Chains A and B, each alone.
Chain A
Amino acid sequence: EAGVVQSPRYKIIEKKQPVAFWCNPISGHNTLYWYLQNLGQGPELLIRYENEEAVDDSQLPKDRFSAERLKGVDSTLKIQPAELGDSAVYLCASSLENVAGEAEQFFGPGTRLTVL
């Protein structure tokens, strides 16, 4: 079974440029997460989707970040414009979740973003 796929794996851009990350979750997983991971830190949730609905985007900086999960399958996370402080690893995860939040998550390898 294929795991969570993310692309690109690495991205280097100059500040104020836009950037987009793509994630394809495990087939059949209803819940998709985008996390930000800074060096030496644990993942921090940006947004959680249940199917195509964003059910928790409280930590997403909406002035510059946007996300979509059309048709409830793959997802795109965009930053426009990027700032120096956005340099981090962006992780996508998916799970087959129930209403109680019991399921383990499956993580992709992440996209390492460097903003110059």
Chain B
Amino acid sequence: AQSVAQPEDQVNVAEGNPLTVKCTYSVSGNPYLFWYVQYPNRGLQFLLKYITGDNLVKGSYGFEAEFNKSQTSFHLKKPSALVSDSALYFCAVRRLTSGTYKYIFGTGTRLKVLA
């Protein structure tokens, strides 16, 4: 069963404009949600996470994400995009299974910020 979905393969945005990268999840119980960014030929870097508490989470490089339980979403946002934000973004969810947990990653969204 799919646990996390990133509906957009690619998002294009002009530099200076706000950006949104979408993520929806499907897990039972309280979800733990994460965003990671991957630059070319590099491993993933952690941006932010939601465990509990305030629905608006602030992370690295000016990114933030809003946990919306009713819409089962955790969209990544930034008020003003930079060309250097161009990268591959992955949403991940912790799923409980067989008495332990597993992280499920989305298929990724490529963000292109145009100068």
Question: Are B44's CB and A41's CB within 8 A?
Answer: no
Count residues of chain A with CB under 8 A from any CB of chain B. 22
Name 9 extra pairs, CB < 8 A, besides A42-B107, A109-B43. A42-B106, A43-B44, A44-B105, A45-B102, A45-B103, A56-B102, A93-B44, A106-B46, A109-B42
Chain A nearest CB, measured from B73 CB (Å)? 17
Chain A's nearest CB lies how many Å from the CB of B59? 10
* A108→B45 CA distance, assembly (Å): 9
Q: How many Å lie between the Cα of A101 and that of B108 in the bound state?
A: 22
Please report A residues at the B interface, Cβ cutoff 8 Å.
4, 40-45, 48, 55-56, 91, 93, 100-102, 104-110
B22 at the A interface (CB under 8 A) = no
A31 to chain B minimum Cβ distance, whole angstroms, is: 11
Q: List 7 A-B contacts (CB under 8 A).
A: A43-B44, A44-B105, A102-B49, A102-B51, A102-B94, A104-B34, A107-B44
Question: Are A105 and B106 neighbours in the complex by a CB distance under 8 Å?
Answer: no
Q: Given A91-B44, A109-B42, A101 and B94 touching (CB < 8 A)?
A: yes
* Given A56-B102, A101-B32, A102-B51, CB of A107 within 8 Å of CB of B45: yes
| Complex: chain A residue closest to B94, CB-CB | A101
Could you tell me the dominant secondary structure of chain B's interface residues? strand
Beta-carbon contact of A104 and B101 below 8 Å: no
Tell me if B25 is interfacial: C-beta within 8 Å of chain A: no
For B41, what are the chain A residues with a Cβ–Cβ distance below 8 Å? 109
Q: A55 vs B107: C-alpha distance in the bound complex, in angstroms? A: 25
- Determine whether B70 belongs to the interface, using a CB cutoff of 8 Å to chain A: no
B67 sits at the interface (CB 8 A): no
CB distance from A75 to the nearest CB of B (A): 15
Interface positions, chain B 22-37, Cβ under 8 Å from A, are: 32, 34, 36
Residues of A within 8 A of B92 (CB): 42
CA distance A43 to B92 in the complex (A): 10
With A42-B90, A56-B100 already in contact, the answer to whether A105 and B46 are too (CB < 8 A) is yes
A45 CA to B97 CA, complexed, in Å = 14
Interface string of B74-115 (1 = CB under 8 A from A): 000000000000000010101000001111011110000000
